[in-house]
Amino acid sequence: MTTDLQAPPALIESRARSTRRTRRVEASVGIDTPRDIDVAAWTFAGAMAAATWFWWDRAQGSWFPATDEWWVITSRGFDVDGLFQTHRGHLIALPVAAYRFLYWAFGLRTYAPYVAITIGLHLAIAVLIRTIMRRSTVGPWMATLCATVFLFFGAAEHNVVNAFQMTLAGSVAFGLLQVVLADHDHKSPLRDAAAVLAGIAAVLCSGVGPFLVGATGVSSFLRRGWRAALVQVVPPAAVVVAWSLSGWSDERPATTTNPYAIARWSLTGLSGTFLEMGRSEIVAVLLGALCVLGIGVALRAYRRRLRASKIHAPLGLAAACLAFSCFTVSKSALGYTYASSSRYIGIMGALLLPMIALGGQALVRRKDLWFIPIAVLLLITIVGGTNAPWAGQRINLSDLQFVFPNMIRQDLAASVPDDHQPVPTRAPWITVGWLRDALESGRMPESRAITPRAKVSNRLRLLVRQRNERGVPNPEAVARRLAIASGTDDPRVFCAAVTTPRTVVLRPGQYLVFRGSLFVLLLPPSSAVNSAPVVYGRSFLTGYGPHVLEAVSRTVRLRIAKGSKDALACSIVPLIEPASPASDPEGAGGDAESAAEDPVPARGDESSAESGEAAKIDAGSEP
């Protein structure tokens, strides 16, 4: 037999080049010392502890800020219909069950148990991301740094401090768990069964679940073949198909097949993820380059049929991220910038970080000195994430913690109909009857110390009702129809564009029909304070209207000002210019004596969207 020593020099050199090429590729999966592994693991544990405090501190002051939360709490029961009824096209059975249990146990008294779930899911996602990186043979320090980037990914705050985002975060966490459990070579029926259950849990949390199940399918196919992939994909897919064919899934979100729209939406989301992660264009480009390099390393290793594997999971997650960024184009009606909203970039960041780590590790294995600039880049990303400003959400209801507990305890609330909606533009599912039941069952928090102005604002919410008309764009026609239906002797209608603040007195049976949105103040007797401006009319939840304001049980004197440029009001009583009130028929009533008290400064008056107009409307509201 011919040995290497006896072989021709050309053959020896050829074998050496082949060996060097193979080792360079295999080096990207690296081997690290036990000391590095242990120290990096403890470092990551410390980062998790710091992230727990970081997010818990950011969640302080939040109190059921999402309209979706109120919809689940007030309208969904712990039964088959309540669990499986669609929510904006999503199957959210597990989050609904969690909310029903938490409301039964804690009510509205504290938001801490609710938000603790999303914070816990965020930490779990970081742990699973690091596990996938380590199984993809990313070094312990590179995996720790990249996972820490996600721990402090401040731009994804919406998915952490908003408890309702347990829907999306739950799908990502259970989906990543399925990826980890299914990532093995040996036969393990119990492990495969646990992975399938995790996949089913992922699709029961939100519409993001199927994308993560698809990631598991891609990973299993690349590693163990199509049979293993079918075992992981078919059961969760069967659950989704069965639900889609049932009567519970009656919402079909509008979508588009326009390639330009899909490409623009996807690129906006992906670029926004890197920009928000890096907090600067230079850092974002470098992170994107590492991600592309990671994809190249993974594809090269798979093409060379190296036994690992171990890069199959990052490939599956990258494929899921691309599919997610394309299929969410149904939300493009909200604007293409919505593709880079907090909820979406939080998901895409979690799916892309393993590829970023793989690209960074490939450079480090080629030359150790690469670790220093890559580590600096990731540390800059971590620091930038902690300082990332959060734009918030369009409708934030945390200020209602100063409204509901006090409002429902007023004597006036006992005479208001059960179906009355005190916050129609932001939480139309909440009724006085439901709040009364929450109070009687002990689930309502204690009253907060609020200003006299806020007390009068709560009274306004109880005295004025909003109804939304459909199909009749002309508010004057609606006002005339209501006037005739009410049997008014003189069914004339007075309409005026609300360019300056105006005053109107509404008696029971009289209506104010308007389009757009209005800021409304309750005018009490001259010896008391006015209410803060409360928004009525058009909103994301109430539609374009027209809208109708009516007095619930007694005469009210209101001051209205435009909340939108097209504000137009019509009434069967004239809208007059601001004037000195004589004796007010209704106003602060029993709250007038509280005008001398002011236990709390401005906080608790109203949300910032409403109170920002207070000075403008009050100018001239009282002589």
Beta strands 464-468; 556-562: pairing state: unpaired
Compute the average pLDDT of residues 89-109. 93
pLDDT of residue 391: 45
pLDDT, greater one: 398 or 217? 217
Q: Which residues pair with 487 in a beta bridge?
A: none
Pick from 308-312, 369-373, 435-439: least confident: 308-312
pLDDT of residue 580: 44
Q: Nearest-CA neighbor of 316 among 145, 199, 159, 186?
A: 199
AA letter at 346: G
Distance of CA 189 to the CA centre of its chain: 36
Compute the average pLDDT of residues 586-607. 37
Sheet of strand 568-571, all strands in order from the earlier edge strand to the far edge: 464-468, 547-551, 511-515, 568-571, 494-497
- Contact criterion met (CB below 8 Å) for 456 and 550: no
Phi, psi dihedral angles at 483 (to 5 degrees): -65, -45
pLDDT per residue as tens digits for the range 510-539: 788 888 889 999 987 655 788 889 999 888
Compute the average pLDDT of residues 477-493. 65
pLDDT, greater one: 56 or 564? 56
pLDDT of residue 379: 93
pLDDT of residue 552: 86
Contacts of 343 (CB under 8 A, 6+ apart): 156, 158, 159, 165, 168
Pick from 105-109, 217-221, 536-540: least confident: 536-540
At 194, the pLDDT band (50, 70, 90 cuts) reads very high
Q: Nearest-CA neighbor of 253 among 184, 328, 170?
A: 328
Asked whether the CA dihedral 227, 231, 234, 237 is positive or negative, the reply is negative
Compute the average pLDDT of residues 40-53. 94
What three-state secondary structure class fits 467? Answer: strand
Compute the average pLDDT of residues 65-92. 86
Compute the average pLDDT of residues 410-431. 89
**pLDDT(103) > 60:** yes
How many residues are present in the chain?
623
Q: How many Å apart are CA 153 and CA 51, to the nearest integer?
A: 10
Q: Nearest-CA neighbor of 483 among 570, 567, 553?
A: 570
Phi, psi dihedral angles at 328 (to 5 degrees): -80, 10
Phi, psi dihedral angles at 124 (to 5 degrees): -65, -40
* Best mean pLDDT range from 250-259, 299-308, 443-452: 443-452
pLDDT per residue as tens digits for the range 499-512: 888 888 888 877 88
Q: Which two tokens stand for residue 314?
A: 């990052």
**pLDDT(611) > 80:** no
pLDDT of residue 175: 96
At 120, the pLDDT band (50, 70, 90 cuts) reads very high
Helix 312-327 and helix 209-224, axial crossing angle in degrees, nearest 10: 150
Distance of CA 128 to the CA centre of its chain: 21
**pLDDT(600) > 60:** no
**pLDDT(189) > 50:** yes
pLDDT per residue as tens digits for the range 10-38: 666 666 666 655 555 444 444 567 788 88
pLDDT, greater one: 13 or 93? 93
pLDDT, greater one: 209 or 546? 209
pLDDT of residue 523: 86
At 603, the pLDDT band (50, 70, 90 cuts) reads very low
Compute the average pLDDT of residues 330-339. 79
Give the H/E segment covering residue 496.
strand 494-497
pLDDT, greater one: 307 or 400? 400
Compute the average pLDDT of residues 371-392. 82
- Contact criterion met (CB below 8 Å) for 175 and 215: yes
**pLDDT(130) > 60:** yes
At 489, the pLDDT band (50, 70, 90 cuts) reads low
pLDDT of residue 529: 81
Q: Which two tokens stand for residue 110?
A: 């504290």
**pLDDT(53) > 70:** yes
Q: How many Å apart are CA 399 and CA 606, to the nearest integer?
A: 7
pLDDT, greater one: 482 or 85? 85
pLDDT of residue 541: 81
* Best mean pLDDT range from 155-159, 375-379, 394-398: 375-379
Q: How distant, in Å, are the alpha carbons of 52, 72, 165 from that of 113?
A: 14, 16, 14
- Averaged pLDDT of the chain: 81
Q: How many Å apart are CA 139 and CA 62, to the nearest integer?
A: 38
Q: Which residues pair with 534 in a beta bridge?
A: 520
- Contact criterion met (CB below 8 Å) for 505 and 556: yes
What three-state secondary structure class fits 495? Answer: strand
Q: Which two tokens stand for residue 7?
A: 């072989």
64: left (phi over 0), alpha (psi -120 to 50) or beta: left
At 274, the pLDDT band (50, 70, 90 cuts) reads very high
At 491, the pLDDT band (50, 70, 90 cuts) reads low
pLDDT of residue 594: 34
Residue that is written with structure tokens 């929510």 in the block: 87
